Amino acid sequence: MSIPEEKQQQDTVSAPPRLKKVSSVKKWLKLLLQSKTGTFGLFIVIFVFLTAAFAPWIAPHDPTENNLAQMLQPPFWAEGGSMEHILGTDNLGRDMFSRILYGAQVSLLVGITAVLIAGTIGLAAGIIAGYYGGFIDNLIMRFVDAFLAIPSILLTLVILGIVGPGMFTLILVLGITNWVNYARIVRGEVLSLKERDFVTAASLMGVNDRKIMYRHLVPNVFSSFIVIATLSVATTIISEAALSFLGMGIQPPQISWGGMLSSGRDYLADSWWVATFPGLAITITTLGIIFLGDWLRDVLDPKTNMNRKGR
Amino acid sequence: MSSYIRRRLIQLLPVMFIIIFIVYSLVYFAGDPVLLMLPENATQEDIAQMRAALNLDQPFYIQFFTYMSNVIQGDFGDSFSYNQPALDIVLERLPATIELGIASMIVAVGMAVPLGIWSALKRNSLTDVFITGGTVIGQAMPNFWLGIMLILVFSVNLSILPVSGTGTYAHLILPAITLGTGISAQIARLTRSSMLETLNQDYIRTAKSNGINRFSIIYLHAFRNSLIPVVTITAMQTNALIGGALVTEMIFAWPGLGQLLIQAIHARDMAIVQASVFIIAIIVILMNFIADILYKLLDPRIHLK
């Protein structure tokens, strides 16, 4: 009975990092506040989330209600603008501010769900490729190379052109075409994890492959995974906007920032605000996510470098 | 070196096979193109005849292998909206996209490298914060929005540059800035970190302690060595460049591959879609290959295995 006690003592003495773990929320908050950009990013992300969640209560107007008498009203500070429509109205007289609030819902929904799909595929592919090696690894990696050779926005566009646009298909297609980054990075990490003692020990003890992958590999690649996933939400939101802008993404009457931008393009000459504000909304949102993702990378995973330097 | 190149090239064969497979499956699942090709009053016999002529009555794998052997011979089929071989039309549009791509690259590198070096030299200063913040904004901004904003400022309000079209260098300026900015963000970040890494090296410290002046340390020693990863990352931006060109060409009515492709997708002209995707993939693979070789040529410390 004395041995475990001794061991316990040793642990408390020799493991100060574990002590820190007790107050992990505090630690994270401290780390976050140390980084100005990280704090700023989190602030923006929370703000956009709240906007999306409370859009029906905040929005002063129905975002889809046409009002041709009020069309192309400028924002309140410009000449002829009023507080009735603080960011002006679009070509159908719809309130820009309300539409931007609702647009946040679509952007976040598409961005996050598509990343979850892509991340799941990429995580599975990367772990399988790294763990089994050999032919399976080769096969998966050649698929990765092939997907890397076709710009993902191009592939998405082509598939959407074939199966038809719409939110559900958009999410699915963005998920299927963006898995490659996860697979490459996860595979790289698994290759080195595989050589570590705890994995070797587990496999010598006869733990089956699936359990090793779930219990040992997934948790250990998770920090890199979460970094790529966060940054990918930003790129996915931009892709969604680009596809909607090209008419292949979210279809009206559903509101998306990319679609709003696209209709604003035709009124650029005398109604600058219709194209300006949706783009600003996209930029601010992605900026927040990138700041947050960069901070997460610095904290969780100093090894991963966004810049790919060969393989 | 040559054995390394040969091995890499052999590795590319299965990749090409998968790309042809993806390109082909896309269209296979797009459905029967015959109805789009024939006039509306075509009879059942006409349809059956056309299907047989196009091999569409065969099973998937036979169709696929026929397609692949055609592709290897450079035959992507005819475009039904142009009534010409699809590959010819794609290759006709390619120079415009390459022109835009090179101009954007010049813009991107021209902005990114000086800014990256400057912020590395002024590390943690206000300048650094501004430049680094600027690169993140460049990354966060959708390029199609930037393009529209540039049109708004320079074409609509100041009317000093043309809105869209092609022909003169003035037409090239806005699209090149639009496409170059997003890419320059990546390059600037890498230049900065690479420069910082180089400045910490022993040989820089030795040069400093030998009393060599700051200018030659920065330009002869640090700059040249830190450029190696920058060159590679620049070549590897082809993928992003072409992806961005799709949208940029649509905004500025630039008559390149991107515009052709989007029109073909809307018209469901699959021969053109397939040929473009294939040509784009080849270009990206080629550029990444060159990047890889360059990296190894520029940095003698890296051994070829």
Query: How distant is the Cα of B42 from the closest Cα of chain A, in angstroms?
Result: 24
Report the sign of the C-alpha dihedral through residues B147, B150, B155, B160, in that order: negative
Query: How distant is the Cα of A80 from the closest Cα of chain B, in angstroms?
Result: 19
pLDDT of residue B34: 67
User: Which segments within B31-90 are labelled E, that is strand?
Assistant: 78-79, 84-85
Give the Å distances, CA to CA, from A217 to A118, A120, A190, A191, B281.
18, 14, 7, 10, 33
Inter-chain Cβ pairs, chain A and chain B, closer than 8 A = 153
Residues A275, B139: C-beta atoms closer than 8 Å:
no
In order along its 311 residues, chain A shows pLDDT tens digits of: 344 444 444 444 444 444 445 567 777 777 777 777 888 899 999 999 999 999 888 888 888 777 777 777 788 777 777 777 878 888 787 888 889 999 999 999 999 999 999 999 999 999 999 889 889 999 999 999 899 888 888 999 988 888 888 889 999 999 998 999 899 989 988 888 888 888 888 888 888 888 888 888 888 888 888 888 999 999 999 999 999 998 888 888 888 999 898 888 888 888 888 888 999 999 999 999 999 988 888 887 655 444 333 32
Dihedral angle at the C-alpha atoms of A96, A100, A102, A107, nearest 10 degrees?
150
User: What is the phi-psi region of residue B92: left when phi exceeds 0, alpha when psi lies from -120 to 50, beta otherwise?
Assistant: alpha
Compute the distance between CA of residue B48 and CA of residue B29 in angstroms, rounded to an integer: 19
Asked if B284 has any chain A CB less than 8 Å from its own CB, the reply is: yes
Scanning A228-267 for CB atoms below 8 A from B yields 234, 238, 241-242, 245-248, 258, 261, 264-265
Interface test with B, best of A145, A176, A291 (most B CBs within 10 A): A145
Asked if A115 has any chain B CB less than 8 Å from its own CB, the reply is: no
Reading the block at residue B231, the tokens are 């060159």
Q: Identify the three-state secondary structure at position A92.
A: coil
Interface test with B, best of A156, A158, A286, A292 (most B CBs within 10 A): A158
Residues A161, B266: C-beta atoms closer than 8 Å:
yes
Q: What is the pTM of this model?
A: 0.86
Scanning B218-277 for CB atoms below 8 A from A yields 229, 232-233, 236, 239-240, 242-243, 246-247, 250-251, 261-262, 265-266, 268, 273, 277
Amino acid, single-letter form, for residue B165: G
For chain B, the average pLDDT equals: 83
pLDDT in tens, B109-161: 999 988 988 888 888 888 888 888 888 898 899 988 999 999 888 888 787 77
Spell out which residues of chain A touch residue B30, defining contact as CB-CB under 8 Å. 162
Please name the residues in contact with A239: beta carbons below 8 A apart, sequence gap of 6 or more: A152, A153, A156, A174, A178
- Indicate whether B218 pLDDT > 50: yes
Count of other CB atoms within 10 angstroms of residue A152:
24
Q: Identify the three-state secondary structure at position A78.
A: coil
Q: List the beta bridge partners of residue B85.
A: B78
Compute the distance between CA of residue B63 and CA of residue B56 in angstroms, rounded to an integer: 7
Report the sign of the C-alpha dihedral through residues A111, A112, A116, A119, in that order: positive
Spell out which residues of chain A touch residue B27, defining contact as CB-CB under 8 Å. 162
pLDDT of residue B35: 65
Q: Identify the three-state secondary structure at position B183.
A: helix
ipTM of the complex: 0.85
DSSP state of A75: P
Please name the residues in contact with A130: beta carbons below 8 A apart, sequence gap of 6 or more: A137, A186, A187, A188, A189, A190, A191, A193, A194, A217
Give the Å distances, CA to CA, from A286 to A27, A174, B125.
26, 17, 25
Interface test with B, best of A37, A292, A307 (most B CBs within 10 A): A307
Is the previous residue joined to A4 through a cis bond, with omega within 30 degrees of 0? no
Give the Å distances, CA to CA, from B209 to B198, B206, B217.
16, 5, 11
Scanning A145-204 for CB atoms below 8 A from B yields 145-146, 148-155, 157-159, 161-162
Scanning B46-85 for CB atoms below 8 A from A yields none
Scanning A16-55 for CB atoms below 8 A from B yields 37
Asked if A273 has any chain B CB less than 8 Å from its own CB, the reply is: no
Spell out which residues of chain A touch residue B288, defining contact as CB-CB under 8 Å. 148-149
Compute the distance between CA of residue A89 and CA of residue A71 in angstroms, rounded to an integer: 6
- Indicate whether B196 pLDDT > 90: no
Q: Identify the three-state secondary structure at position B27.
A: helix
What count of Cα atoms within 13 Å lies in the side-chain half-sphere of residue B220? Answer: 10
Burial class from Cβ neighbours inside 10 Å (0-12, 13-18, 19+) for residue A14 reads exposed
Chain B residue nearest residue A148, CA to CA: B239
Please name the residues in contact with B51: beta carbons below 8 A apart, sequence gap of 6 or more: B32, B34, B57
Q: Identify the three-state secondary structure at position A20.
A: helix
Residues A294, B136: C-beta atoms closer than 8 Å:
yes
Asked if A207 has any chain B CB less than 8 Å from its own CB, the reply is: no
